[in-house]
Chains A and B, each alone.
Chain A
């Protein structure tokens, strides 16, 4: 597995004062894999994402991406290397239009890699807005969007960085059945057509199970399960974590 791994996390730990948010996390993600990450509220999922993406510094352990250590790299440097994320609560750039929101990662991540130039960027922004169904609102401000559209914008902005690994942190919370399916289909398409590795953090079990090829469970900052989704959700300690023993 490690030869083909795009992301290797070893011994990762993070504390907030005396509170151990993450302890000794070991995780390999294979190139092109669709990984589901679940866990009860407060289990450390978002903290793990923040440590992977450089928003938080992990005190121990290391993160390797495409064979390169990320320790000490800032969030924007990791984005440039091809590791993009969405935020659990959408954080759009409020004074910029939707098209401009997508321009930012194009200008700062894609162009910094040298793989996009001027007029190309406008077209790619529009293509992405088209893909998530927001093309008719390209010149509107994020405050004009509904919650659902905001989530689509959040996802589109992460995709605009043209990542090789996309971490979607609860991209579907609050969406309807149909909308969840739409986003799932979009993520699967990104994965299958463009070969983007995706880590999906989600509470909607139906979505996680249909999306994931492998499922990892975090409970109280520790990884308690890792394997085939159907097997993992039948594991006793996983059931206990969710339903109580």
Chain B
């Protein structure tokens, strides 16, 4: 399927999702659905670096929080529409991704993972000590009740925004996969020395991957302050973001764009259901158990059952 056609289908799927949500007509569905969709974007974004090039990023929360705190800053200073804040948040995270990449991509394997983890700690410390965004006390964001020009509740608007980001992230991931860039990413994952010897500019490609992956995570994090209405460093840098975002592609399959979506929908939905029916503390346990099961039973993820 050609990329424009695929994106068209993605848009159709997104519109259908929104129509179904309208038919269900339950405010909680939007709240729960937002989180699941957010994880579709995060898992897809992580997979561009982690799955395609094989560089495991543990600093996910830093990229989400940078996006979220960009929104806090813009909210305090300006009156910009949410979509602009999302673009700014993505830009900030993308730049930080580029910088992190430049500083750490000479590290390989585990060392790169540890460096990204350290980066998350550094960013968290900086944000916790930045009074303007509330420091450790956190920041309150007053969410408008409605979006006038669309005539919908604000939570529906957030849900719609996240649907849009899903289309963007998945569209980008799919377009990369079978492109020249995607082949280049795969060679980095397989063997960097051989990649260089085949003419692949590995450093430049890795920087593209970190910037793109970080940027999309920042975009996913940008609407967060409006969703939670109170953002503090402890929750913005929560470990569960990192754990979930890594677990989802691994469970779904890292080799294609479909894996992270399946993983995010499956795990995200399961967690939301568990939160309502049993307890919110259970969600991390679910991730842990599923990860163990999948690492043993399906090392290539759910997608790996069907494809080579």
Does A91 reach chain B (CB closer than 8 Å)? yes
In B164-201, the 8 Å CB interface with A consists of: 180, 183-184, 186-187, 189-191, 193-201
Residue B128 lies at the interface, judged by CB distance under 8 Å to chain A: no
Pair B197/A87 contact, Cβ less than 8 Å: yes
| A79:B186 contact, CB within 8 angstroms | no
Question: B244 interface residue, CB < 8 Å from A?
Answer: no
Q: Is there a chain B Cβ closer than 8 Å to A75's Cβ?
A: yes
B71 at the interface (CB under 8 A from A): no
Nearest B residue to A96 by beta-carbon distance? B186
Give the chain A neighbours of B180 by CB distance below 8 A. 107-108, 111
Q: Contacts A74-B201, A76-B196, A79-B197 given; indicate if A108 touches B184 (C-beta within 8 A).
A: yes
Contact residues in B for A112 (Cβ distance below 8 Å): 199
Interface residues of A in 43-100 (CB under 8 A from B): 53-55, 74-77, 79-80, 84-85, 87, 91-96, 100
In the complex, chain A residues whose CB is within 8 Å of the CB of B308: 141
Contact yes or no, A79 B194, CB < 8 A:
no
* B136 in the interface (beta carbon within 8 A): no
Q: Chain A nearest CB: distance from B206 CB in Å? A: 12
At the interface, yes or no: B104 with Cβ under 8 Å from chain A? Answer: no
Give the distance in Å from the alpha carbon of A95 to the alpha carbon of B193 in the complex: 15
- Of A85, A104, A109, A160, the most chain B CB neighbours within 10 A belong to A104
Chain A residues with CB under 8 Å of B184's CB are 104, 107-108
From the candidates A91, A157, A160, name the one contacting B193 in the complex (CB within 8 A): A91
The answer to whether A107 touches B193, judged by C-beta atoms less than 8 angstroms apart, is no
Contact among A74, A76, A100, A161 with B183 in the assembled complex (CB-CB below 8 Å): A100
Contacts of B183 in A (CB 8 A): 96, 100, 103-104, 107
Q: Does the CB pair A93–B193 fall under 8 Å?
A: no
Q: Is A221 an interface residue (CB 8 A)?
A: no
Query: B245 at interface (Cβ–Cβ under 8 A)?
Result: no
- Inter-chain CA distance A158–B197, complex, in Å, is 8
Distance between B183 CB and nearest chain A CB, rounded to angstroms: 6
B193, A104: Cβ atoms closer than 8 Å: no
Q: Are A93 and B194 in contact (CB under 8 A)?
A: yes
- The answer to whether B190 touches A85, judged by C-beta atoms less than 8 angstroms apart, is no
- Give Cα A165 to B263, complex, Å: 47
B199 touches A95 (CB 8 A): no
B202 close to A (CB within 8 Å): yes
Does the CB pair A55–B197 fall under 8 Å?
yes
Residue of B whose beta carbon sits closest to that of A94: B190
User: How long is the Cα–Cα vector from A92 to B186 in the complex, in angstroms?
Assistant: 12
Q: Which residues of A contact B200 (CB under 8 A)?
A: 76, 104, 108
Q: Judge if B255 is at the interface, Cβ distance under 8 Å.
A: yes
B 194-216 binary contact with A (CB < 8 Å = 1; else 0): 11111111110000000000000
* Given known A-B contacts A93-B187, A100-B183, A108-B184, A53 and B197 have beta carbons under 8 A apart: yes
Q: Known contacts A100-B183, A104-B183, A108-B184; decide if A94 and B191 are in contact (CB<8 Å).
A: yes
CB distance from B53 to the nearest CB of A (A): 12
* Residue in contact with A76 in the complex, picked from B189, B190, B201, CB distance below 8 Å: B201
- Determine the distance from Cα of A108 to Cα of B200 in the docked complex, in whole angstroms: 6
- Given contact pairs A93-B190, A95-B190, A96-B183, A161 touches B198 in the complex (Cβ within 8 A): yes
Bound complex: CA of A76 vs CA of B180, how far in Å? 15
Contact A95 B198, beta carbon cutoff 8 Å: no
For window 100-158 of A, CB contacts with B under 8 Å fall at 100, 103-105, 107-112, 141, 157-158
Among residues of B, the one whose C-beta sits closest to the C-beta of A84 is: B197
- Whether the pair A161, B191 counts as a contact (CB closer than 8 A) is no
| A108–B179 alpha-carbon span in the complex (Å) | 12
* Given A95-B255, A100-B183, residue A105 in contact with residue B198 (CB < 8 A): yes
Question: Which residues of chain B are within 8 angstroms of A91 by Cβ–Cβ distance?
Answer: 191, 193-194
Tell me the smallest distance from the CB of B241 to a CB of chain A, in Å. 28
**What separation, in Å, do the CA atoms of A77 and B180 have in the docked complex?**
17
Q: Assuming the A-B contacts A55-B193, A87-B197, are A76 and B202 also in contact, with contact meaning beta carbons closer than 8 angstroms in the complex?
A: yes
**CB-nearest residue of chain A relative to B196?**
A75
For B186, the chain A residues whose CB sits under 8 A away are 93, 95-96, 100
Check if B198 sits within 8 Å of A109, measured CB to CB: yes
* Cβ-closest chain B residue relative to A100: B183
Closest residue of chain A to B255, judged by CB?
A95
Q: B193, B199, B202: which contacts A161 (Cβ < 8 A)? A: B199
A residues contacting B by CB (< 8 A) are 53-55, 74-77, 79-80, 84-85, 87, 91-96, 100, 103-105, 107-112, 141, 157-158, 160-161
Closest 4 A/B residue pairs (Cβ): A109-B199, A108-B199, A75-B196, A91-B194
